[in-house]
Amino acid sequence: MGALGDAGDTSACDNGAVEDQDTIASASIPTTVTEPPAGYPAAWEEDAVLKDGFTVRIRPIIPSDAEALQDFVKGMSTESSYFRFFRVKRELTEHELGEFTTIDYRSHMALIAIADGRLVGVGRYSSIDARPGNAEVAFTVADDMRGHGIGTLLVFRVAAYARANGITDFTAYVLSDNHAMMRVFRNAGFSMSREIDEGVYTVSLPTEESASVLSAESEAERIATAASLMPVFYPGSIAVIGASRNKQSIGGRLFNNLINADFTGPLYPVNPKTKVIRSIPAYKSVLDITEPVDLAFIVVPGEYVLDTVRECAEKGVRGVCVISAGFSETGDKGVAAERELLEIVRSAGMRMVGPNCMGLLNTDPAVNVDGQFGPIVPLSGNVAMSSQSGALGLAILDYAADLNIGISTFVSVGNKADVSGNDLLLFWEDDPNTDVILLYLESFGNPRRFARIARRIGRNKPIVAVKSGRTSAGARAASSHTGSLASLDVAVDALFAQAGVVRVTTLEELFDVTALLANQPIPKGPRVGLVTNAGGPAILAVDALESQGLVVPQFTADLQAELRSFLSDDAAVANPVDMIASAGPDEYRKTLAAMLASDELDSVIALYIPTSVTGVAQTAVAIREAAELAPSDKTFLAVYMDSAGAPTELSSELASFPAFPFPERAAKALRKAVDYAEWLQKPVGSSVVFDDIDPDAASEVIAAAIAGTDEAVWLDPDGVDTVLGAYGLRIPQSATVSTADEAVAFAQGVDGSVVLKVISPSAVHKSDVGGVALDLATEPDVRNAFEQVTSAVPDPEGVLVQEYVAGGHEVLIGMFEDPNFGPLIGFGLGGVFVELIEDVSFKIHPLTDLDARDMIGEVKSGRLLEGYRGGPEGDIDAVVEAILRVSALIEDHPEVVEMDLNPVKVAPPGHGVTVVDARIKIRPVQGRWIPSRSDQPMRL
């Protein structure tokens, strides 16, 4: 096909100058596909937010889009048409329309963008048999819709689709003066090469999701999401629909809070039954308000919500916060209603918080939005928070106020129909008022998106999360070691640990950690200095710190001498510094100053018990003043053990630090802060590529095993060997036999002794039923063992004869696909005892080299591989490599859902590892697993 050929070609064009605007036609186009054609990939329907905060719907094209496509082409400016078709084309022929809209979604694909019921952009590719893996691409955006980022978005999505369908390279033909199109390709982060011939660039770009593509895409996502939430957090005007004169009602309370907080813009109460609320004239409908409305709170009974939101859409409201309940939390009918609500919100390009939530607030004095109905007036500060539970949200605000934790923004996300926790993270990422982010989570919309976003944000701002409940993993029946181990809450733990999220289990811990992170520098390391006026609590404190793995180092002679110079002879100065009960303000001031100035410590804890009535206030002042002078590389906290709580003298504007009532809580909070610091300091690691693997050999085995079935199946032993072998995982010499004679024949060809294992569908763990016989050196041994193992089960299907691998440690490397989190990879020691010990590390695939090494360090028994107490050393490098090879296998073969290499025998350093028992479960998948882009599946 010639590059300058007929209109049916796929020359790429986009973003010319805007002209001929008057020619734009508009046929309304359905956003929802009710009767999808064959092969229609519904998973690619999506509502995407653009960089200026507006939303478009993206979906695959269908035949009935022909009319809208024709209108789109008719509306193109002369230049656009020229760039797209390399000549001016006013309309498409019937044949072309058919070809462009009736596609197979594999070799030919087109995604369209819809805004305001109009087709506003097309991105397509078509591949030809002659060049497998390659496709020609073209992109076009309506002239009046340029500059919103639609072209870039289509490039990302079409490339992602192509990637998922085995297309590795795009070719685009671009006229040399179509600079805008070239800019879109470049902005999308694709590494491209181009050649020019007669004024036409041939641009080649790999569809690979390289680091630069990923970062360009993340950046676009961040800017777009944050912009879309601006009207929600920084509204110029607010309507309260369902505002009420009744001060007890929710509508009354919310309206009052907004007034009492002095919202800086105009506030419009809407209530058809009232004329005036708190001296402000009320409107019958949001449509009666003549001025623009940015944000509307909706506090009407559930059955009126849809109509009310429709009116908001008509009015041009940018954001809604739906307090009203009666949606997906109530069952099937509610789910349908919520879907309809979302449809209204998205087609209007609005954003929605809720439904079924308690509101939101932004304490920034630029707006002062207190849009929640609780009785608490929160303090303004640097902590942002989202809560999935409304009631808990109220309690949390209350608690935060008590603990002097100031809030920047708070959102009760309710059912998260539109605005999700992930969206909020993107808003807070760049929010100058927020230093610490708190999340109360009950479920994840899209854990993979969370991981990606959290990992990036965590580098700059700590994220502290409470995740209640367990994953759905707990409910499934597990038939492998890895599976039963993974049924704990491990996916969430793994996700948080890899993304640097500080996970806490109780609300108390949430606030303790937050009070520390929000007020103090992150500790540089684990060394803690302690000063006290009472020996007993100091011992408790040291115990608590050490049991958290923190270090209470003995001070150097110099530091001890310095302390001794002003402390009494009875004082202990080695750390903890026990100044004894008579110590007063002066001792605290001087000791703290010396400890804070010392480079022997990372954190300093002032522990104080009021022992007499005198000097209490002065001591509090002295501790505070020492904290005010603390250098910025020291973390300072107090433990103030008084049932009346810490006195007001202890805090000031200059020195904000947490004062805990008990040493244990201080120790726990400090541990979390140190963990976070360690995560920050950790190098990121790199992914490892193996060039000695043979993915095709594995694919063949897998394809054969699942041919003709929809079910998950276990690979047979030969298949397992081939797949492991293809990924460079060493297996013992082995054969499947059906008679004792064959077993003997094989054994004679093996150097040392052999092992016999029965092959049987009923025996999940063969040794449990006597189906394994080890270390067989002679022919009679082999014959006896054959009898023994085959009679151990009712359904022997054959016997596996294996070379016996003597000695060495036994480790487990496993994999389990969590339905929400994707593949988890596990590592542990202990062979058959692994479940008993439950000492296993899990991480979310894919792994970096450092992840794999960390896994060994994370299991307590991992030290056995280092030759603990005279035991044999193991080849740790080979274990790390084996874990990474498993990760590579999973990456290439999404059919693998469960895998158990147990045991892997670990020889001494330099001698590698051997997988002596393995089970691999596979199931058919359609194409590759595709990460969903948004948090909500977009089948509307």
Closest CA to 200 of 88, 90, 83: 83
Q: How far apart are CA 231 and CA 235, in angstroms?
A: 5
Interacting residue with ligand ADP among 66, 805, 825, 882 (CB under 6 A) = 805
Interacting residue with ligand ADP among 46, 895, 917, 935 (CB under 6 A) = 917
Q: How many CB atoms lie under 10 A from the CB of residue 697?
A: 14
Helices 447-457 and 490-499 cross at an angle (nearest 10°) of: 30
Answer with the entry of Mg ion, ligand ADP, none that 802 interacts with (C-beta below 5 to 8 A by kind): ligand ADP
If one asks whether residue 903 binds ligand ADP (CB under 6 A), the answer comes out as yes
DSSP 330: G
Q: Residue 89 or 905: which CB sits closer to ligand ADP?
A: 905
Binders of ligand ADP: how many residues, by CB under 6 A?
Answer: 18
CB of 895 to Mg ion, least distance (A): 22
Interacting residue with ligand ADP among 435, 602, 721, 810 (CB under 6 A) = 810
Beta bridge partners of 113: 58, 121
Q: How far apart are CA 356 and CA 335, in angstroms?
A: 12
Token pair for 932: 């969903």
Answer with the entry of Mg ion, ligand ADP, none that 222 interacts with (C-beta below 5 to 8 A by kind): none
Answer with the entry of Mg ion, ligand ADP, none that 103 interacts with (C-beta below 5 to 8 A by kind): none
Q: Is the Cβ–Cβ distance between 306 and 345 less than 8 Å?
A: no
CB of 562 to ligand ADP, least distance (A): 59
Q: How far apart are CA 166 and CA 699, in angstroms?
A: 14
CB of 914 to ligand ADP, least distance (A): 8
Q: Residue 810 or 895: which CB sits closer to ligand ADP?
A: 810
Q: Is the Cβ–Cβ distance between 904 and 833 less than 8 Å?
A: no
Give the largest CA-CA distance in the chain: 101
CB of 112 to ligand ADP, least distance (A): 53
End-to-end Cα separation, the chain, in angstroms: 38
Q: Is the Cβ–Cβ distance between 830 and 812 less than 8 Å?
A: yes
- Binding segment for Mg ion (CB under 5 A), chosen from 210-218, 655-663, 863-871, 899-907, is 899-907
Q: Is the Cβ–Cβ distance between 757 and 800 less than 8 Å?
A: yes
Answer with the entry of Mg ion, ligand ADP, none that 491 interacts with (C-beta below 5 to 8 A by kind): none
If one asks whether residue 772 binds ligand ADP (CB under 6 A), the answer comes out as yes
Q: Residue 269 or 831: which CB sits closer to Mg ion?
A: 831
If one asks whether residue 59 binds ligand ADP (CB under 6 A), the answer comes out as no
Answer with the entry of ligand ADP, Mg ion, none that 888 interacts with (C-beta below 5 to 8 A by kind): none
Q: How far apart are CA 588 and CA 610, in angstroms?
A: 13
- Binding segment for ligand ADP (CB under 6 A), chosen from 328-336, 559-567, 800-808, 888-896, is 800-808
Residue with tokens 């470049």: 186
Q: How many CB atoms lie under 10 A from the CB of residue 490?
A: 24
3-class SS at 407? strand
Q: How far apart are CA 692 and CA 268, in angstroms?
A: 68
Question: Which helix (H) or strand (E) is 348 found in, with range?
Answer: none
CB of 478 to ligand ADP, least distance (A): 15
Q: How far apart are CA 706 and CA 187, in angstroms?
A: 41
- Binding segment for ligand ADP (CB under 6 A), chosen from 178-186, 329-337, 343-351, 761-769, is 761-769
Interacting residue with ligand ADP among 165, 603, 802, 848 (CB under 6 A) = 802
Q: Residue 479 or 820: which CB sits closer to Mg ion?
A: 479
Closest CA to 80 of 166, 174, 8, 15: 15
Answer with the entry of ligand ADP, Mg ion, none that 106 interacts with (C-beta below 5 to 8 A by kind): none
Q: How far apart are CA 65 and CA 31, in angstroms?
A: 10
Q: Residue 78 or 767: which CB sits closer to Mg ion?
A: 767
Answer with the entry of Mg ion, ligand ADP, none that 766 interacts with (C-beta below 5 to 8 A by kind): ligand ADP
User: What b/e readout covers 819-836, taking b as 16+ CB neighbours within 10 angstroms?
Assistant: ebbbbbbbbbbbbeebbe
What does residue 39 show for φ and ψ, rounded to 5 degrees?
80, 0
Q: How far apart are CA 164 and CA 41, in angstroms?
A: 12
If one asks whether residue 802 binds Mg ion (CB under 5 A), the answer comes out as no
If one asks whether residue 790 binds Mg ion (CB under 5 A), the answer comes out as no
- Binding segment for Mg ion (CB under 5 A), chosen from 363-371, 408-416, 655-663, 895-903, is 895-903
If one asks whether residue 743 binds ligand ADP (CB under 6 A), the answer comes out as no
Closest CA to 317 of 348, 346, 343: 348
User: Using CB under 6 A, which residues numbered 703 to 732 contact ligand ADP?
Assistant: 732
Q: Residue 807 or 910: which CB sits closer to ligand ADP?
A: 807
Interacting residue with ligand ADP among 187, 484, 767, 784 (CB under 6 A) = 767
Q: Residue 361 or 763: which CB sits closer to ligand ADP?
A: 763
CB of 811 to Mg ion, least distance (A): 11
If one asks whether residue 230 binds ligand ADP (CB under 6 A), the answer comes out as no
Interacting residue with ligand ADP among 831, 862, 874, 894 (CB under 6 A) = 831
Q: How many CB atoms lie under 10 A from the CB of residue 449?
A: 22
Q: How far apart are CA 382 and CA 409, in angstroms?
A: 8
CB of 763 to ligand ADP, least distance (A): 7
If one asks whether residue 898 binds ligand ADP (CB under 6 A), the answer comes out as no
If one asks whether residue 10 binds Mg ion (CB under 5 A), the answer comes out as no
Interacting residue with ligand ADP among 401, 574, 774, 930 (CB under 6 A) = 774
Q: Residue 43 or 774: which CB sits closer to ligand ADP?
A: 774
Q: Residue 523 or 808: which CB sits closer to ligand ADP?
A: 808
CB of 772 to ligand ADP, least distance (A): 4
- Binding segment for Mg ion (CB under 5 A), chosen from 93-101, 200-208, 346-354, 917-925, is 917-925
CB of 715 to ligand ADP, least distance (A): 15
Residue with tokens 């244990």: 664
Q: Residue 40 or 804: which CB sits closer to ligand ADP?
A: 804
If one asks whether residue 917 binds Mg ion (CB under 5 A), the answer comes out as yes
Beta bridge partners of 59: 112
Interacting residue with Mg ion among 308, 356, 420, 902 (CB under 5 A) = 902
Residue 174: alpha-carbon gap to chain centroid = 37
CB of 499 to Mg ion, least distance (A): 32
If one asks whether residue 921 binds ligand ADP (CB under 6 A), the answer comes out as no
Q: How many CB atoms lie under 10 A from the CB of residue 506?
A: 10
Closest CA to 436 of 504, 519, 366: 519
Q: How many CB atoms lie under 10 A from the CB of residue 372?
A: 28
Instruction: Give residues with Cβ within 8 angstroms of 754, minimum separation 6.
Output: 743, 746, 747, 776, 782, 801, 802, 803, 804
3-class SS at 759? strand
If one asks whether residue 363 binds Mg ion (CB under 5 A), the answer comes out as no
Q: Residue 416 or 905: which CB sits closer to ligand ADP?
A: 905
Q: How many CB atoms lie under 10 A from the CB of residue 638?
A: 23
- Binding segment for Mg ion (CB under 5 A), chosen from 540-548, 637-645, 848-856, 915-923, is 915-923
- Binding segment for Mg ion (CB under 5 A), chosen from 409-417, 491-499, 612-620, 900-908, is 900-908
User: Does the bond joining 908 to the residue before it have cis omega, within 30 degrees of 0?
Assistant: no
Q: How far apart are CA 23 and CA 71, in angstroms?
A: 10
**Assign residue 928 a region: left if phi > 0, alpha if psi is -120 to 50, beta otherwise?**
beta
Q: State the residues that interact with Mg ion by CB under 5 A.
A: 902, 917
Q: State the residues that interact with ligand ADP by CB under 6 A.
A: 732, 755, 757, 765-768, 772, 774, 802, 804-805, 810, 831-832, 903, 916-917
